[in-house]
């Protein structure tokens, strides 16, 4: 087991890439959990993409030949969530996270308004 440092496109701002140091024996699901811990972005909202292929949750990074310096992309899948209410709430939550990350004072919202 070795730690690797990889770069992953941010779901909050697709022009930004974040670095993560993680064990090469970690799975894609564990990588998504690490991203959730760092950004509060729900793993159900995105897929991880390498060379235009969506990565499977149970595959290890080593088995996918992901090494230090690898750049991964995120694929927003909010539009494929179960129902309209879930999709809308996810969009609002993502926008709130984006506003909070950029330091805007009104980062939260009131669902009743």
Confidence of residue 110 (pLDDT cuts 50, 70, 90): confident
pLDDT of residue 108: 76
Q: What is the pTM of this model?
A: 0.84
Give the whole-angstrom CA distance, residue 26 versus residue 3.
9
pLDDT tens digit sequence for 16-69? 899 999 999 999 999 999 999 998 899 999 999 999 999 988 999 999 999 999
pLDDT at 75 exceeding the cut of 80: yes
Give the whole-angstrom CA distance, residue 83 versus residue 101.
27
């Amino acid at each position: 087991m070795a730690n690797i440092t990889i770069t992953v496109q941010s779901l909050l701002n697709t022009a930004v890439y974040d670095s993560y140091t993680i064990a090469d024996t970690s799975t894609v699901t564990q990588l998504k959990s690490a991203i959730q811990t760092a950004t509060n972005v729900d793993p159900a909202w995105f897929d991880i993409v390498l060379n235009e292929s969506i990565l499977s949750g149970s595959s290890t990074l080593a088995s996918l030949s992901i090494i230090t310096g690898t750049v991964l992309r995120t694929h927003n899948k909010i539009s494929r969530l179960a129902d309209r209410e879930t999709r809308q709430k996810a969009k609002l939550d993502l926008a709130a996270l984006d506003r909070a990350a950029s330091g805007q004072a009104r980062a939260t919202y009131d669902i009743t308004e």
